[in-house]
Amino acid sequence: MTTIDATARPTGFLRDTASVFVRESRPLVRDPFSVIFSLVQPLVFLGLFGPLLIGASGGDAAGTLQWFVPGILVMVALFGTASTGANLLFEMQTGSHERTLVAPLSRSALLVGRALKEVVPLVIQGTIVVLVAVPFGFSLDVPGLVAGLAVLAVFGIGFGALSYTLALACRNRDWMFWMVHQTLLFPLMILSGMLLPLEDGPAWMQVAAAINPLSYIVGAERALLAGDFGAPAVIGGVIAAAVTCAIGVVVGVRAMKRAR
Amino acid sequence: MARKTAGMTNQMISAQGLTKTFPAKGKVVEAVRSVDLEVGAGELVAFLGPNGAGKSTTLRMLTTLLPPTSGDAIVAGSDIRRDPAGVRRRIGYVGQGSSGGHTQRVRDELHAQGSFYGMGRRETRARAAELIESLELGQVAGRQVQSLSGGQKRRLDIALGLIHRPELLFLDEPSTGLDPHSRANLWEHIVDLRRETGTTIFLTTHYLDEADQLAERVMVMDHGQVIADDTAWALKESLAGDRVSLTFETAADAAAAAARIGGAASGQVVTVTAPGGDRALPRYIRSLGDAGLDVTAATHRQPTLDDVFLALTGRTLREEAAHAEASAEPALA
């Protein structure tokens, strides 16, 4: 048998990040159905909550969808990336995370590569949600959608990184991961004005929404998907996404460097 | 106890004073206490000891997974503190768990592993194909890791550990949880690997027979310290000796015989530890017969590593295994 050359060579952060990203993305490519499957929840909201909202608003379906669909997109980004840490948690328990820690990979790349992967399902799912809403009267603005998905992608990288951080902190305590996940997720969702407008809520709720970065992202998505690039809400959303991303990556990289 | 090594030039592992302490419940637990070890290129060393002895913690320090509290080690030519990346590039590591991602396919994981080690695409693919063949993973190469049997998962773990042809392979409890057939099969692969490539292998185990049959050198660890280090044969010869047991007609005969040959009587049976027990046995029968003490049955048993552990610690590893099932080592918590 001829000997096949196989030697480890030094790599840099970018190469390592690409290696981790490719590994994390492969199951999505191999089994694209899993991406569609996790769309069930947002589509249920769209299909069952949407009509109620249209009825309650007394307005026309198209106008209500124009308001509601951007919220569903943010929901896709929020739910998809919030639970992604569970994958890492599982890999920490089985031993495949340990394998990557013994490999000569940069610790930062282990986190960043994983977080970047979040963009892939997010963009696919967001596009599907919008396309589903179009026959029901949602008017599609393509540049707006591209910009909206870009803002969501930046947010998703950061929120995914925070989910990985939570997993690294919880180690083998699954219950803790899911408790924090559940405790934070629904308040974040409701206090963002994603499903129902908060303008009619009590003052404390409006204060809570004002400090919730997600409200700014929802606002920006509503403006961007309507093609209104100049709206002040866009700047707020871009800043909120960028800040989430920066905090998530910094905190996540720190946690990964300490990981054992 | 300290084993002389063949010079410092061709060392794969050289550790001095490796120590790891963990805080636990307000106290400081010393998991590993000042371990020195030298392993030369091409050796196959078994690290034997009960659960919680500090084997895995030592291994995790040598593989850069855990920084030592104090002490130093050079592993495969690089310092574990100053150049962990250099160590990582040169060693392969198969941990206690299953190292393939559950939703990943077998071949994909091998390709990912190659890229983790900075290997080129063509090189990785060729090497993965080679490992899939040699570790008999061809049937499952396109399947998800979670659908594999325990033995198949373990073979994948080994393949992942070997993707970059490491000079030194660490195996942490490689056959734990496998059925006897899969264990035997796994060992065949490890022995083949060593014969074909001369890879240095450092493994932990609490299976006595495994250490006995496969390793040329056994290091016994207990309470965070290396308490013996030699070939299995020399350990047994020097620490345990052969067991000879002789049965007599009456307990009185047995007691008299025990007094003459310096053994221990229990009922009609006398046991005595003797080096070269196979040669001692006929001598005992003859001399005791001459004294009117007739031996009705006799057995001779070669010592096991469990006898060695018993001689060293006063405990047996089999008891320890039964006790320690529930208590994992602190490093794994």
Per-residue pLDDT reduced to its tens digit, A6-21: 788 888 999 999 999 9
- Are A8 and B115 within 8 A, CB to CB? no
A92 vs B: CB within 8 A:
no
CA distance B232 to chain A (A): 30
- Are A103 and B116 within 8 A, CB to CB? yes
Per-residue pLDDT at A133 exceeds 70: yes
Q: Band the pLDDT of A72: cuts 50, 70, 90.
A: very high
Q: Using beta carbons and an 8 Å cutoff, which residues of B are at the interface with A?
A: 60, 63-66, 85, 88-91, 93, 95-105, 108-109, 112-119, 123-124, 126-127, 130, 157, 160, 163-166, 331, 333
In angstroms, rounded to a whole number, what is the distance separating the alpha carbons of residues A143 and B149?
50
Centroid of chain to Cα A250: 17
**Picking from A51-60, A191-200, B82-91, which range would have the lowest pLDDT averaged per residue?**
A51-60
Residue whose C-alpha is closest to residue B152's, from B162, B161, B163, B139: B139
Q: What is the pLDDT of residue B8?
A: 45
Task: Measure Cα distances from A110 to A101, A171, B119 in Å.
Answer: 9, 16, 17
Chain segment A87-121, per-residue pLDDT in tens: 999 999 999 999 999 999 999 999 999 999 989 99
Q: What is the pLDDT of residue B328?
A: 43
Sequence spans of domains, chain B: 11-237, 242-302
In angstroms, rounded to a whole number, what is the distance separating the alpha carbons of residues B261 and B255?
10
**Picking from A33-37, A242-246, B70-74, which range would have the lowest pLDDT averaged per residue?**
A33-37
3-class DSSP state of B35? strand
- Are B90 and A8 within 8 A, CB to CB? yes
Predicted-assembly ipTM surpassing the 0.85 threshold: yes
Q: What is the pLDDT of residue B261?
A: 85
- Residue of chain B whose Cα is closest to the Cα of A17: B116
Q: How many beta-carbon contacts under 8 Å exist across A and B?
A: 112
Whether residue A84 contacts residue A118, with contact meaning beta carbons closer than 8 Å, is answered with yes
Per CB-CB distance under 8 Å, the chain A contacts of B103 are 27, 31
Task: Measure Cα distances from B260 to A242, B240, B265, B288 in Å.
Answer: 88, 21, 11, 8
Per-residue pLDDT of chain B (333 residues; tens, 9 = 90+): 444 444 445 899 999 999 999 988 888 889 999 999 999 999 999 998 888 889 999 999 999 999 999 999 999 999 999 999 999 999 999 999 999 999 999 999 999 999 999 999 999 999 999 999 999 999 999 999 999 999 999 999 999 999 999 999 999 988 888 888 888 888 888 888 888 899 999 999 878 888 888 888 999 999 999 999 998 888 887 777 788 889 999 998 999 988 888 888 888 899 888 777 788 888 889 988 898 888 999 988 888 888 888 888 888 777 766 665 444 444 443
Select the residue from B56, B62, B99 to test the A interface by mutation, using most A Cβ atoms within 10 A.
Answer: B99
Residue whose structure tokens are 């540049």: A143
Per-residue pLDDT at A217 exceeds 60: yes
Question: Which CATH code, of 3.40.190.10, 1.20.1730.10, 3.40.50.300, 3.30.450.40, is assigned to B11-237?
Answer: 3.40.50.300
Q: What is the pLDDT of residue A2?
A: 54
CA distance A103 to chain B (A): 6
Sequence spans of domains, chain A: 61-258
Residue whose structure tokens are 């559950």: B102
Task: Measure Cα distances from B248 to A218, B269, B272, B292 in Å.
Answer: 92, 6, 14, 11
Q: What is the pLDDT of residue B302?
A: 83
Any residues with CB less than 8 A from the CB of B12 and at least 6 apart, and which? Answer: B39, B40, B41, B43, B75, B76, B167, B168, B200, B202
Q: What is the pLDDT of residue B322?
A: 61
The pair of structure tokens assigned to A5 is 């050359």
- Cα B243–Cα B223–Cα B5 angle in degrees, nearest 5: 75
Q: In this complex, which of B96, B105, B130 lies closest to A30 when CB atoms are compared?
A: B105
The pair of structure tokens assigned to A72 is 């569903």
Mean pLDDT of A192-213: 88
